[in-house]
Structure 1
Amino acid sequence: MSFPGAPITSIADLRELARRRVPRMFYDYVDCGSWTGATYRANEADLGAIRLRQRVGIDISERSQATRLLGEPAAIPVALAPTGLAGMQWADGEILAARAAERFGVPFTLSTVSVCSIEDVADHTSRPFWFQLYMMKDRAFMERLVKRARDAGCSALVLTLDLPVQGQRHLDIKNGLSTPPKPTLRNIVNLASKPRWCLNMARTRRHTFRNIVGHVEGVEDMSSLAQWVSGQFDQTLNWDDVRWLRRIWDRKLVLKGILDPEDARLAARTGADAIVVSNHGGRQLDGAPSSISMLPRIAEAAGSDIEVLFDGGIRSGQDVLKALGLGARGVLIGRAFLYGLGAMGEAGVTACLDILRRELDLTMALCGITDPRDAARALLDTPTPVPPHLRAVAPA
């Protein structure tokens, strides 16, 4: 696989190709943070600043990246994160990403605000996937959504906690983000430069939020949908709401958006099975710390009662190893796989996962480790000792 004659060797290559092929408003939706973007940039920069320990004279001939995430086997310690509007990066994007993840052997998470519905993805996959949920005021709709996830065979619910209000993303406002795009002169000119994207979109009927449209009374078009969504994020969200969800969902429950040790301790008391250390990719509170800077303290606070996952800034296999070394059982990737999706559809998601696998394998080898559970030994100057129980990553 290549573009302008050059092979694709990194996530950065996929990002550049996606920038060329995806309409401006949808590429910017992925590739921006809130306000100044400082937290978005810090996620990558702080991961990049962590140094690795090179070792020699160690037998590294038998290496494995296999692990288990939420009790499920994973070929590498990576899952695809829930991302809104993936179906606007490439036609039927959520279906394609889920299929790529299934074939590769890693979990896929579908967003509530996906273009393809729960049923769409279930109809095109055979492996159970995870479903992400926002806490909305319309509890009856939430109960129906949870039931649909159960009926589709979803093995986990991922409740996003860090979006009781939506952070301001300047580019989304300036671009007039909508799905499908509004027929403004600026949009028409931009779309005319993306013929591949337009042709693919013309071949599918999936152009809006299919988990919501047709499932909420009075929501039939973009105008009514936008009005409904903007009024649905629940600012009264609290830990009792999490316990309510725990009562109506009898499978794995993951709490996403934990960025403080005290919240990790509270999460563990709700009966949740896992947390995701995350600042929403720098898309919510600008000025918040990077996810990786908080991971060791949160992992220590969480203890052995709850699985610790991580997201925020993962762009390489080296980043994966660093997160494991600082206390994560596995990582979730969002932008990385969306770059691949926007660049080449399903093949691009596979390319992204293959790049991470190759980089992780090579980094493990050069650090003298053969198993992800030993990732802490690959790091220099770790800010906080990693509790031993968090290093026990059971191979598949």
Structure 2
Amino acid sequence: MQDLLKYAPEYPSVRDLKNRAKRRIPKFAFDYLEGGCNEEVNLLKNESDFHKIELRPQYLKDFNDVNMRTTLFGREYDAPFGISPIGLQGLMWPNAPEILAKAALRHNVPFILSTVSTSSIERIAEITESNFWFQLYHPVENALRDDILDRLTSVNCPVLTLLADVPSFGFRYREIKAGLSMPPRMTLRNIFQAFGRPVWSLETLKTGIPEFATLKKYMDNKMDMSQLGKFMNKTFNGRINSEKIAAIRDKWKGKLVVKGIVSEEDIQKCIALGADGIIVSNHGGRQIDAGESSIRSLQCLAGKYGDQITVMMDGGVRSGPDIARAIASGASFTFMGRPFMYGVAALGNNGGNHTIAMFKSQLKQVMEQLCCEKIDDLKATLVPVGSGAYELGPHN
């Protein structure tokens, strides 16, 4: 297993992967991946608020070795992080969800497939030997909801993630300028951008135009891209409530996670409805610019409710130290989206393996420095507010 901790030394950080990805994919694809909503204030806070969290080592402790293995919903993973769901992954790099799913299986970390990703439930189940999670955009019709749940059950998907934070599409300036709202359109400018990225263009030609593979069976075969927006608006309603969660809880026999929870009122409802976990998230800063960062929301919720429900998080995690900061702040597990897409866009088929190995190596070094043998040991390293650490806000 030691070979899994090795990675390409030319790209030792997320920043390096991001810079290479920007040079390898068209601007419209990079803007779709990179952008947040409105002025992107919350997108920036997601990362900058992590830098205000400090951890304190104890150098004279007895120390043996680092064990990053983490048990989550009855399964032991090799590290306390996984791959977040991202829509239209194949737009940013051909076959991206399959590349990442294969890497997740090899490294024994969770991969979450989005309803609007570019690989199907059945294909990802095959690749991961059914060790994947699925994020559900709630359909308007219960029959479609039930059919998707039946498909997940038939391939033994263990964890369903219900998306809560998309009651409306975010107002994302970059996507509007690039023509990547629904339906996406290839403008003359976008075509010229694609010509400027020949490797991306050739790989896309070989793979084919990306499509919503899971949803393909529900679409009219004659539907063109101009009709896609109408189909999405007609078929899905992102706003969920207690009644919708309860109906899914009754039908779904696996683990149920609600993603996008940031308030005490909502986490209390999730607990009352029998959810197994939540993912604290602001959708990568893509939905509400006036909100708070994911790490700040986590610090508010984990201490009060972590003994009642599994509290995980994503948003702004960019390094091994950030993973350690999130765990020390109360998260049971962390997820990352953009960093893995940077990795695949930068390094192609090796991008998933490289990025996971990079995070494992970074986290291992942090734990060695902090004298933490196990993941749970990180919780004792958090420097309390008022003891020299920067204060994130009134929740702390």
Matched, 1:187 2:190: yes
- Helix, strand or coil: the match of 2:180? coil
In the alignment, what sits opposite 2:211?
208
Q: Partner letter of residue 97 of structure 2? A: E
Contiguous gaps of at least 5 residues in structure 1: 385-396
Residues 320 and 383 of structure 1: CA distance in aligned 2, closer, same or farther (over 3 Å) = farther
Which of these residues, 293, 307, 311, is aligned with residue 310 of structure 2? 307
Q: Does 1:135 align with 2:138?
A: yes
Q: Name the CA distance, whole Å, in 1 between partners of 2:222 and 2:55.
A: 51
Q: Is the 8 A contact 1:99 1:346 kept in 2?
A: no
2:235 is the alignment partner of 1:269: no
2:23 aligned partner: 20
Q: Which structure 2 segments of 5+ residues have no match?
A: 1-6, 388-396
What secondary structure does 1:271 align onto?
Answer: coil
Partner of 2:51: 48
Query: 1:282 corresponds to which residue?
Result: 285
d(CA) in 2 for partners of 1:55, 1:162 = 39
Q: How many angstroms apart in 2 are the aligned matches of 1:188 and 1:129?
A: 35
1:81 and 2:76 are equivalent in the alignment: no
Alignment match, 2:153: 150
Deviation, 1:49, is 1.2
Distance 1:49 1:356, change over 3 A: same
Give the one of 333, 350, 364 matched to 2:367: 364
Superposition misfits of 4+ residues, deviation over 3 angstroms: 178-183, 216-219
The answer (yes or no) to whether the contact 2:28–2:193 under 8 Å persists in 1 is: no
In 2, the alpha carbon distance for the partners of 1:332 and 1:219 equals: 37
Contact 1:213 1:221 in 2 (8 A): no
Deviations 1:222-271 (A, max 9, x none): 22221121344436621110000111111011000000122111111111
1:257-298 C-alpha deviation (Å, 9 max, x unpaired)? 000122111111111111001111111111101011121221
Tell me the TM-score normalised to structure 2 length.
0.91
Task: Please report how far the alpha carbon of residue 314 of structure 1 lies from its aligned counterpart in structure 2 after TM superposition.
Answer: 0.4
Go from structure 1 to structure 2 and tell me whether the alpha carbon gap of 1:368 and 1:94 turns closer, same or farther (over 3 Å shift). same
Residue in 1 aligned with 2:120? 117
Distance 2:149 2:195 in 1: 39
**Is the deviation greater in 142-151 or in 226-235?**
226-235
SS at match of 2:136: strand
Flag the 1:254–1:227 CA change in 2: closer, same or farther, 3 A.
same
Matched, 1:165 2:177: no
Q: What is the CA–CA distance in structure 1 between the aligned matches of 2:303 and 2:62, rounded to whole Å?
A: 31
Measured against aligned partners, the alpha-carbon deviations of 1:151-193 in whole angstroms (never above 9, x if no partner) come to 2221111000011111111100100017997443211211111
The answer to whether the Cα contact below 8 Å between 2:280 and 2:314 also exists between their aligned partners in 1 is yes
State yes or no: 1:107 paired with 2:115. Answer: no
**Identity across aligned pairs (percent)?**
35
Structure 1 residues 69, 77: CA separation in 2 closer, same or farther (over 3 Å shift)? same
Q: For 1:214-363, list aligned pairs within 5 A.
A: 214-217=217-220, 220-234=223-237, 237-363=240-366
CA RMSD of aligned residues (A): 2.0
After superposition, the C-alpha distances for 1:342-380 in whole angstroms (9 at most, x for unaligned) are 111231111111111111111111112111101122221
Checking the alignment, whether the CA contact within 8 Å between 1:102 and 1:125 is kept in structure 2 is: yes
* Distance verdict in 2 for CA 1:208–1:39, change over 3 Å: same
> Going by fraction, where is helix more abundant, 1 or 2?
2
Shift of 1:51: 1.3
For the residues of structure 2 that align with 1:303 and 1:364, how far apart are their CA atoms? 22
Describe the superposition over 1:312-331 as per-residue Cα deviations: whole angstroms up to 9, x where unpaired.
Answer: 10000111011111111100
Three-state SS of the structure 2 residue aligned to 1:7 is coil
Paired with 2:29 and 2:151, the residues of 1 have a C-alpha distance of 28
The CA distance in 1 between the partners of 2:106 and 2:343, in whole Å, is 16
Counterpart among 29, 34, 37 of residue 37 in structure 2? 34
Instruction: Map residues 54-69 of structure 1 onto 2, 5 A cutoff.
Output: 54-69=57-72
Pick closer, same or farther for the CA change 1:381–1:271 going to 2, 3 Å.
Answer: same
User: What per-residue deviation string (whole Å, max 9, x for no partner) do you get for residues 300-323 of structure 1?
Assistant: 332423111111100001110111
Q: How many residues are paired up?
A: 381
| Letter paired with 1:364 | M
The answer (yes or no) to whether the contact 2:282–2:315 under 8 Å persists in 1 is yes
Q: Say which SS state the counterpart of residue 40 (structure 1) adopts.
A: helix
| Residue type of the alignment partner of 2:281 | S
